[in-house]
Amino acid sequence: MAGTDSGRFEGRVAVVTGASSGLGEAVTRQLREGGAKVFGVGRDKARLESALQDGDETAWLAADLTDPAAATEVVEACVDRFGGLDILVNAAGAHTMRHTAEVTDADWQHDLAINLSAPFYLSRAALPHLLDRSGCIVNVSSIAGLEGQAYSAAYCAAKHGLIGLTRAMALEFDSKGIRINCVCPGGMTTPMVQNFTFPEDPDYTLIMKIAAARGLMDPAQVANVITFLCSPEASAVHGAIYTVDNGKMSL
């Protein structure tokens, strides 16, 4: 399941969100090492430019994917640049802990927009191209999409919703050649986790329920599973929800 097998993605074109850092960057690197042409997407132009050197095999676009028009622009730009689209990895996400009673309407809309609406908008825009080339979608949810987590009502709601979106689309397109799957990571050594802040006066016994006894994972370990799901080796995997969490959910 290693993500670096040379040539396994030769001739494939991928869009990866959150490509400038963390898990998205690890997925981008593995797809490129496997021969894919990758169109990276993120919010920060400077970070994208630093992580993804524009060239024959790589391109990028800074975009706010919570805007449906931006999702369409990304897909059109990728197809114009590389001639088609085979793989979509919705890896971008955001998590801010808050006391539920203090979650504002804007907080709620923000968390759902980034973690659920953006993957939907991009998937909708990409579908015609993916169907044309029997491509695949891999959504990145979280173990927060499989369990409750304290101070994370909006995040959990969005990530549960992303699993539901994956299953609904997989059923709808079951006979159409496209494959649609989801990965639910646990904690990783990403900038989002390393820069994490907690709400005021939290109950740390509740927060520690998120932690895995084996500790944080390297993003490359999760990227290995994502790139496997994008590869020909996973040709029989459709509608699956993969948990990659260092054993946390088994406890």
Catalytic hit among 121, 155, 204, 242: 155
151 given a catalytic annotation: no
> What is the C-alpha to C-alpha distance for residues 13 and 86, in angstroms, rounded to an integer?
5
Determine the distance from the C-alpha atom of residue 11 to the mean position of all C-alpha atoms in its chain, rounded to a whole number: 22
Q: Taking a C-beta distance cutoff of 8 angstroms, is the pair 41, 88 a contact?
A: no
> What is the C-alpha to C-alpha distance for residues 17 and 34, in angstroms, rounded to an integer?
18
Q: For residue 13, what are the β-bridge partners? A: 37
What residues are labeled active site?
Answer: 155
